[in-house]
Chains A and B, each alone.
Chain A
Amino acid sequence: MTTKLFGQRIRRVEDPRLLSGRGRYLDDLGHDALAVAFVRSPHAHARVLDIDVSAALEVEGLVAIFSYDDLDGKTSEPLPLLIPHPALTHGRTPYALAKDEVNHVGEAIVMVVASDRYVAEDVVGLIRVDYELLPPVVGVERARDGGALVHDDVPGNVAATMVQEVGDAAAAIDASPRRQRLQLSIERSASMPMEGKGVLARWDADDESLLVHTSTQTSTSVRQAIAAKLSLPVDRVEVVTPDVGGGFGVKIVHPWPEEILVPWASVRLNRPVKWVEDRREHFISSAHERGQLHDVTVGYGDDGRVTGLSVQFWHDNGAYTPYGLIVPIITSTQLLGPYKPTAYRVEFASLYTNTVMVTPYRGAGRPQGCFVMERVMDAIAADLGLDRALVRERNFIQPDEMPYDHGLTFQDGRPLIYDSGDFPASLSKLKQLVGWDDFAKYRERAAAEGRRVGIGLACYVEGTGVGPYEGGHIRVETDGSVVVSTGLTTQGQGHQTMLAQIVADELGVPMERVRVTTGDTRRFKYAVGTFASRTAVMSGSAVALTARKVRAKALRIASNALEAAVDDLEIVDGHVQVKGSPGSQVDLGAVAVLSNPLRYAFDEAAARATQFATPHDPDQPPVAADDEPGLEGSGFFSPTRSTFANGMHAVVVETDPDTAEVKILRYCVVHDCGTIINPMIVEGQVHGGVAQGIGGALFERMEYDESGQLLNASYMDFLMPYASEIPHIEIDHLETPSPLNPLGVKGAGEAGVIPVSAAIAAAIEDAEGVVITAMPISPSELFDLRRAREQRGEAR
């Protein structure tokens, strides 16, 4: 195989369409559909006593008002618990419309369908709901004390507790020469894609079929869920993912109440119905992540080697647990990063609060785990007066220990076994890139100018490409074009480009001939979804394997046409030819024609495949018993385990001695995602991840008050960084191929975000000499830390 596209910086095939305004995002469709708006709870915890719609009924343009009592069949049951787990003993999911209790501000109670969204919002404003207020549970501490309950039937607000242990951590820590205990916390943030969610449903009463467009990360599973909830045969429901304006995790959750209600209303009203989430709705009724408190005890030797690690943490899962325990399980396993504590115990409790539910946001529990582990490494270095990079090096899993089995169970229910990676090499690259060993001199020079600077680093390992499987279908058309379909969805990661690169290479066709479709159940019905940095690994491998099948078939057909042995053939530039003899060739389009024995010559090319046009063996059927017509094939990839990408970040910050403002002077990344398909796209993923990480480290948080009101539910006050807040990011790559898939790739999507809070905390700590135990940190909070230190009478 000539690998001329794999590994190249190829400009994206998606771009021209998106750049010229021809993208089709959810709200670009269905201009004439009815519009939906919701009455959402203004209270964090309340019983719904009465709904009075009488004032709204006269509004011109109102079509329908629905509340829980209107729901029928399975739509009136709670939404599915997507990822059950034996430890999730008290899983709870919401109703599509609140039944008689609301558990967070923003929970949908009444659905309004009207001629347009303006009118629908007018109606919402006229509907009166009477509530009996219940005590709200906000924050891990309040949830943990169990004084008030989110769900009456969940004692102590505990959805789940879970323990994993390797070795006897307590004994190992007791036996360690040195010990420390740290309390570490991370606050809530959220995916916050620029496009909110949205659903458009078109019921075709004549065909008794439903076509749903939704801004999702998994169209196949939404399809199954809609069919189940609406009691429709699955084959009467198709779900299409249009262009999606970012996902970052929040759109993997499904079915959202609206993904059931909008199709349901379309069937019931026999009209196209559309709901487009506005920004406030996205803040108060989608999902958040990150909020966790951690209590860590570590034992280590005088050389800095960890001998025992015990972590207990409390995960705020919000009001419901549709996505199970994925986030805390990831924290509890991925916390270990590139290190090998001899003995490890982790225990977590997943707790209900009267806040928006918590589901994975890019990184999905890893930023918290990385923060914990890297704070531990820095604490050990500080205690022993050792170089922080050296302490990390001493705890690294070594390349010759790969594959490395941690003895734990990962988020996919499979063993946590690292497949590859060279952590010492990555660290060495990072130290070189950032100038780690020369930083002391830089610090001195800065200090002489009255400036405070600091450096920090953080390392992580990310399980990527989790199963169970993905698939692909490839068809070579008779004009030689190649149509590729994969079931998972895309939200801007350049999947169409990346997959086209792979297929073009494997098939030997020019990339311009390859068209890729994602997330359309009319094209491909079996898929899992886009999450966990899995597309390159899963769909990339699936389409590569499928392309090899199609290639084999093309060679087989061409060998007859060219009267040459398969082994003597190659495919170059869309032509099958005898190796070394390009004069003897047949183009793939013609092979596609020949692959489909025809009776009717519907076009000129088809004539070549009709019954009197081709010589054939009269004793054999036109299509062999083990064959099918068409130059096409399907294939699936289902790996035994996840691949494990890794990376290390270093950051240099300057803190203003007067104002406590934090400025990032340099941000350096060394990244290992195995073999790289398109470095331009991978770097783009890293840039974006780092920027979100910086948001999470210095700017973004979900600020709930005690009553459960989200105080900053707007872009004015939820501080996503602008260009002015994000530095230039320097990247170096290491490629240690994964042995677990045919391409050697590991995922890259989430990587950038994971270690940012850890690295920035370390850098601020280094600049300021105050211990950082909670992120994000604002200038106001850094000022408080300085004050506290002054009051303790400590010098900087």
Chain B
Amino acid sequence: MKPAPFAYLLPSTVDEAAEMLAATGGKVLAGGQSLIPLMSMRLAAPPALVDINRVGGITDIEVGDDAVRVGALVRHAALEAHAPAYDANPLLRRALRHVAHATIRNRGTTVGSIVHADPAGEMPAVLRLLGGSVEAVSQARGRRSIDAADFFVGPLESALGEDEIAVGVVFPRPPAGSGSSWLEISRRRGDYALVGVGAVVTLDSDRNVIGAAVSLISVGATPVHVDVGHVGADSAYDDVDWSGATELVDAAISPEADIHATADYRRHLAQVLTRRALAEATADAAPRVAA
């Protein structure tokens, strides 16, 4: 299990990286936690790797009033530990804790895992749930922003062009009065989830539900996003019947069987976790609304 040879390129700027990528048809190497195992198993053999680990300007976590922006070289662990990011949006840390194991999070990047577009990945679903976007740069098209809704195309397939580098992602802050939850079930702690659900619930100043959405992983070709706001609409936070949400989710997902679980079981878990996550997110939101 040793990788095939490749040309190694070490740019120092984003533009240089984009140029190298266009010239070689290679792949971007950031954390490498998904790419390198694929290469060691020789399931991937890119002709060139553009190692962006020394590129400047893509290492920051910026917490703004509207969003948390995460640069391409931010490791999961850094974002997980970032207190202002947590204060701005606790969902990020809640989901990141489920991304593989701590040692992998020390090296793997959040942007990288989003670009990898694994339908079992947590952070793609979080980006989708929050209505975020990916900032991409290429030599041909320059800089562009791709909405999460358009970004995830299929399993391990995104809207990012072969010649494009994702330089950052933007996680918008949920509206005031929002709470969140991330729940997942995996065979072993740290494994890919059999099913995972992220939920955001927003309350008005009377603590009635005015918005709710869930994004699920491992139940479709991409993260499955379902707006369930109308199910809880106008219900008081402590008296919401989310059962309608599970029906919507059930209609939206298309889980498949694999060696770890049947499709039926995944469908069942999606309902259980949707219910639990919405309840948890609602409970999380309540204290955020001034009584």
Contact = CB atoms under 8 A, between A and B. Distances in A.
Q: Determine if chain A interacts with chain B.
A: yes
A711 B260 CA distance: 11
Nearest to B261: A780
Contacts of B191: 716, 719
A722 interface: yes
Interface in B138-188: 185, 187-188
A556 interface: no
Contact of B188 (A121, A280, A722): A722
A93 interface: no
A383 to B, nearest CB: 31
B230 interface: no
Nearest to A124: B42
A783 B268 contact: yes
A691 B210 CA distance: 48
A796 B265 CA distance: 19
Contacts of B185: 659, 661, 779
A780 B187 CA distance: 10
A725 B189 contact: yes
A122 B3 CA distance: 9
B236 interface: no
A118 interface: yes
Contact of B190 (A278, A714, A722): A722
A778 interface: yes
B272 interface: yes
A784 B261 CA distance: 10
B186 to A, nearest CB: 10
A778 B42 contact: no
Interface in B175-211: 185, 187-192, 194
B4 interface: yes
Most chain B C-beta atoms within 10 Å of own C-beta, residue among A278, A659, A784: A659
Most chain A C-beta atoms within 10 Å of own C-beta, residue among B5, B259, B262, B268: B259
A656 B259 CA distance: 21
B36 interface: no
Given A659-B269, A724-B189, A780-B265, A122 B4 contact: yes
A712 B259 contact: yes
Given A699-B188, A712-B259, A117 B2 contact: yes
A338 B16 CA distance: 73
A787 B188 CA distance: 23
A396 B194 CA distance: 43
A703 interface: yes
Contact of A779 (B4, B41, B42, B261): B261
Nearest to A117: B2
Contacts of B2: 117-118, 121
Contacts of B41: 280, 714
B251 interface: no
B1 interface: yes
A387 interface: no
A779 B1 contact: no
Interface in B1-26: 1-5
A492 interface: no
A780 B260 contact: yes
Contacts of B4: 121-122, 125
Interface string A261-298: 00000000000000000111000000000000000000
A757 to B, nearest CB: 17
B261 A724 contact: no
B44 to A, nearest CB: 13
A717 interface: yes
A787 B260 CA distance: 17
Contacts of A784: 262, 264-265
A721 B1 CA distance: 23
Contacts of A714: 41
Instruction: Place the interface of chain A in its size category.
Output: 20 to 34
Nearest to A698: B187
A449 interface: no
Most chain A C-beta atoms within 10 Å of own C-beta, residue among B3, B5, B41, B188: B188
Contacts of A717: 259-260
A278 B1 CA distance: 6
Interface in A711-735: 711-712, 714, 716-717, 719, 721-722, 724-725
A711 B261 contact: no
A660 B262 CA distance: 13
Interface in B104-161: none
A438 interface: no
Contacts of B260: 717, 719, 778, 780
B188 A724 contact: yes
A719 B272 contact: no
B1 A699 contact: no
A149 to B, nearest CB: 27
Contacts of A787: 264
Nearest to B40: A278
Most chain A C-beta atoms within 10 Å of own C-beta, residue among B1, B41, B191, B264: B1
Contacts of A780: 194, 260-262, 265
A778 B5 contact: no
A567 interface: no
A711 B259 contact: yes
Nearest to B259: A703
Contacts of A716: 191-192
A9 B22 CA distance: 64
A709 B189 CA distance: 27
B261 A778 contact: yes
A779 B189 contact: no
A719 B1 CA distance: 20
A765 B2 CA distance: 45
Contacts of B42: 121, 125
Contacts of A724: 188-190
Contacts of B262: 780, 783-784
B61 to A, nearest CB: 28
A510 B2 CA distance: 48
Given A118-B2, A280-B1, A778-B260, A699 B187 contact: yes
A25 B251 CA distance: 54
Contacts of A121: 1-2, 4, 42
A721 B186 CA distance: 12
A371 to B, nearest CB: 21
A279 B2 CA distance: 11
Nearest to A721: B188
Interface in A111-128: 117-118, 121-122, 125
Nearest to B4: A122
A790 to B, nearest CB: 12
Nearest to B269: A659
A721 B262 CA distance: 21
A121 B4 CA distance: 8
Contact of A279 (B1, B189, B259): B1
A354 to B, nearest CB: 19
A724 B2 CA distance: 30
A153 interface: no
A778 B187 contact: yes
A658 interface: yes
A30 B264 CA distance: 52
Interface of A: 117-118, 121-122, 125, 278-280, 658-661, 699, 703, 711-712, 714, 716-717, 719, 721-722, 724-725, 778-780, 783-784, 787
Closest 3 pairs (CB-CB, A-B): A724-B189, A780-B261, A780-B265
Given A118-B5, A725-B189, A784-B264, 11 more contacts: A121-B1, A121-B4, A125-B42, A659-B269, A661-B185, A703-B259, A711-B259, A714-B41, A719-B191, A719-B260, A787-B264
20 contacts: A121-B1, A122-B4, A279-B1, A659-B269, A660-B265, A699-B187, A703-B259, A716-B191, A716-B192, A717-B260, A722-B190, A724-B188, A725-B189, A779-B187, A779-B194, A779-B261, A779-B265, A780-B261, A780-B265, A784-B264
